[in-house]
Amino acid sequence: MLLSPWRADFPALAALDHEGQVYLDSAATAQKPQAMLEALQRYYAQGAANVHRAQHLPGSRATQAFEGVRQQLADWLKAPQDAEIIFTRGTTEALNLLAYGLEHLFQPGDEILISALEHHANLLPWQQLAQRRQARLVILPLDQSGQLDMHAAQQLISPRTRLLAVSQLSNVLGGWLPLAELLPLAKAQGALTVVDGAQGIVHSPPDLQALGCDFYAFSSHKLYGPDGLGVLCARHQALQWLHHWQFGGEMLEHTDYQQARFRAAPLGFEAGTPPIASVIALGATLDYLQSLDSHAVNQHEQALHRQLLEGLQQRPGIQVLGRPQTALASFIAEGIHAADLAELLCEQGIALRHGSHCAQPLLQSLGVQQGALRVSLALYNDGRDLERFFNALDNALELLR
């Protein structure tokens, strides 16, 4: 039986266990380590204060902690020296920031490339930008196995490509995109590159210098951090293209009633009071994650994932979507509506997702009409969770067949 040595660090797991719930939905949002909960409590209990504004002690303490996390993130991400870390409300807001901030670069006929497996968060901002500017949204197709078709990508990336925006890891198929091959093709054409790291950052140690994209976005809440907080890491050379998009407190240098000058990144892109407690608590989450043996975490996640795939493949009539490589697997059951299966799993305390997983065009292209179920794993899951899931799955399949 696979055990997670980190499970006890997450108080919610014991609470959910007590309620008879098996949490297999970490790709939607992850549970939080005790260290993060304590950081939130400590910040509020010590005295909350706004950042970048006041001279008083609580204000300078909050600002110092807040800016400390910005630096901590840059180090952890192995961001290029001159890159900036911008705090947003989440990956979705980070991508919207880009789609509005870069809008002025697009002329009619310019092409924006995304992959066929994008989450709605990395589809809709670009789709809408394309409509506003009469640009073309070009979709990089997948091959039969659900991997990005690199041959087609080579044909589609052209001098008309102004921007490429792709996920690092699919939230439905659980496959890594070949970014090391893909990004250089776009850069060679002078295109800007955007990576949606919402899923990927949770399951591979980040190295943005090696990745080489212009913009990288992710959400804190999937990375065991608090919600309402996202991170956008932007390369210095790419920042020059980014126009300000939200306006308000603290993002300005000077204003009168009619005219204003704005700050550069990062503060120029953080209008209004940022989620201070969440930023500080994300710092505590990173401290926690960095204290773990990342090799052991990876081994554990891979072993669990293998068990998940083996268990699904052993069951007749279960079809796994794509070829999941890590963290999650989506599946359908022949002759059974996903909603029925999900309902009966829910009755048995199995917390997983069903539906289109915020990727409707992808499921349509895979011919999945009735939604799919998704099991997603985190470092706190263990073999017992999977055992309970498979028992529940067998019960449900028996009832529905």
Partner 1 sequence: MNPSLAPAAQQALELFSQCSSWEARARLLMQWGDRLTPLSDAERCAANQIEGCESRVWLVMDRQSDNYQFRASSEARLLRGLLALLLVRIEGLAPQTLASLDLSDWFSQLGLSRQLSPSRSNGLFAVLQRIRQLAQDCENTSP
- Of the candidates 6, 338, 382, the residue with the CA atom closest to the CA atom of residue 172: 338
The DSSP H or E segment spanning 200 is helix 200-203
| CB closer to partner 1, 156 vs 350 | 350
- Of the candidates 66, 46, 67, the residue with the CA atom closest to the CA atom of residue 57: 46
Question: In Å, how far from its chain's centre is CA 371?
Answer: 21
Note whether 400 binds partner 1 by CB under 8 A.
yes
Note whether 303 binds partner 1 by CB under 8 A.
no
- Of the candidates 60, 121, 58, 64, the residue with the CA atom closest to the CA atom of residue 89: 121
Note whether 397 binds partner 1 by CB under 8 A.
no
| CB closer to partner 1, 233 vs 363 | 363
| CB closer to partner 1, 7 vs 353 | 353
Query: Shortest approach of partner 1 to residue 383 CB, angstroms?
Result: 24
Query: Shortest approach of partner 1 to residue 319 CB, angstroms?
Result: 17
| CB closer to partner 1, 5 vs 349 | 349
- First-residue to last-residue Cα distance in the chain: 30
CA dist 93 and 98 (Å) reads: 9
Query: Shortest approach of partner 1 to residue 370 CB, angstroms?
Result: 6
Return the residues of window 310-369 that contact partner 1 according to CB under 8 A: 337, 339-340, 343-344, 347-348, 354-356
DSSP structure string for 201-264? HHHS---HHHH--SEEEEETGGGTS-SS-EEEEE-HHHHTTPPP-S--TTSEEEE-SS-EEE--
| CB closer to partner 1, 108 vs 335 | 335
Check if the beta carbon of residue 275 is closer than 8 Å to that of residue 89: yes
How many angstroms separate the Cα of 294 from the Cα of each of 36, 206, 290, 300? 18, 12, 8, 10
CA dist 74 and 67 (Å) reads: 11
Report the residue from 101, 146, 274, 371 that binds partner 1 according to the rule CB under 8 A: 371
From 201-209, 313-321, 357-365, 392-400, span contacting partner 1 (CB under 8 A): 392-400
Note whether 395 binds partner 1 by CB under 8 A.
yes
Check if the beta carbon of residue 224 is closer than 8 Å to that of residue 285: yes
Contacts of residue 8, Cβ cutoff 8 Å, sequence gap at least 6: 14
| CB closer to partner 1, 4 vs 356 | 356
CA dist 270 and 145 (Å) reads: 41
Note whether 189 binds partner 1 by CB under 8 A.
no
CA dist 255 and 252 (Å) reads: 7
Note whether 370 binds partner 1 by CB under 8 A.
yes
CA dist 375 and 394 (Å) reads: 15
Check if the beta carbon of residue 375 is closer than 8 Å to that of residue 27: no
Query: Shortest approach of partner 1 to residue 171 CB, angstroms?
Result: 17
Query: Shortest approach of partner 1 to residue 371 CB, angstroms?
Result: 6
Query: Shortest approach of partner 1 to residue 153 CB, angstroms?
Result: 32
Catalytic residues: 358
CA dist 29 and 352 (Å) reads: 11
Report the residue from 3, 14, 188, 399 that binds partner 1 according to the rule CB under 8 A: 399
Task: Kindly state the tokens that stand for 286.
Answer: 């990173």
| CB closer to partner 1, 58 vs 317 | 317
Which residue carries 């055992």 as its tokens? Answer: 387
CA dist 151 and 231 (Å) reads: 32
| CB closer to partner 1, 124 vs 346 | 346
Query: Shortest approach of partner 1 to residue 256 CB, angstroms?
Result: 47
Query: Shortest approach of partner 1 to residue 14 CB, angstroms?
Result: 23
The binding site for partner 1 (CB under 8 A) comprises 337, 339-340, 343-344, 347-348, 354-356, 370-371, 395, 399-400
